[in-house]
Structure formats: structure tokens, C-alpha cells
Structure 1
Amino acid sequence: MKTKRVFDGQRGVITSIFVASIFVNLLVLTAPLYMLQLFARVMASGSMPTLIALTTGAAIALVFFFSSLMSFANASSPASARGWRRG
């Protein structure tokens, strides 16, 4: 009797899920890393250009994270599965 392998032919899907998971987990760490760098670099030296660069980078990462989170929530809602659209 042959048994089916669960993951046969799914290597690409599993790899993309793994990469997306790593990317999302790094984006979740944006706020703690920002605070760590803020206290270590900006508070110690008082460097305004460093503060501007850190804040800009953290803001871009957080905007990207929340937009991807909202698009995922919209894509996985039951209303989108039925094809219903607002407005």
C-alpha cells in the first residue's frame, strides 16, 4: 500500500511561507529595535541626524507592516471569500 506524502510538490509554497514569516517577525521587532538604537546612539551622543534616520526607517517599516497586516486581514475575511466589496 502506497502512502501519500503530505508535502510532495509543495516546496515553493513552504519556502515562500517561511520567508514571509521571517520578514513579518523582523517587522514586528521594529519598535523594540528602534528604542534600543534610540537609547544607545541618540541619547548618548545627542545626534539629530541619527534620530531622523532611525525615525524615518522605523516609520517606513511600521507603515509597511500595518499595510500588509490590513491587506492580509481583508484577504482572509469571510466577506472577501464571497466576493463582497464595500462601497
Structure 2
Amino acid sequence: MCSVTQRYNSKAIHHVTRKERMMSTRRLIVFKYSSSLVNAPAHQFFDAIKIEKNDKGKPARSFGDYTVTIDKSFIPQGVELIEML
């Protein structure tokens, strides 16, 4: 019984690591403060970013199936928004 469990666990781990290798970063959004003091709470930045599925009736297959929008009106003075990637 022990060898069956070990074999199953090693296959499950291999499957997870194989999937992780296929994942990649598509967008990186950086918030840069103008001073060492925090200009706004973190939840204010999360509220500025919206991710929506384009077709809610179909399963998502790629990054293109989503729309990422940034509402810059949520970003306070003294904070620079940098999009990298």
C-alpha cells in the first residue's frame, strides 16, 4: 500500500510542476511612491485594477480571454504607476 501511495504522490507532484513551467507572467503593475512615506493604503491600488472575463459563457483558455483595466483616478497624487511587460 505504501508504494502505491508514493507512486501516486510522485505523479501528482510531477503533474503540478509540469503545469507551473507552462505559466508565465503577462503583466506587471508597479506602484512607486514619491517618498518613503506611504501615500495610500494597499486596498486603494487593488480597487484600481479590474480583471474581467470577456465571454462568461466559455471557459478561459488564454490570457486574451480576459480584459485588464486600470482606473487611474484611484491612484493618488505622489504615486507613479509603472506597467512593466
Same fold (TM over 0.5): no
Compare the two structures and name the one with the higher strand fraction: 2
Q: RCO (CA 8 Å, sep 6+): is it higher in 1 or 2? A: 2
Compare the two structures and name the one with the higher helix fraction: 1
Calculate the TM-score normalised by the size of structure 1.
0.31
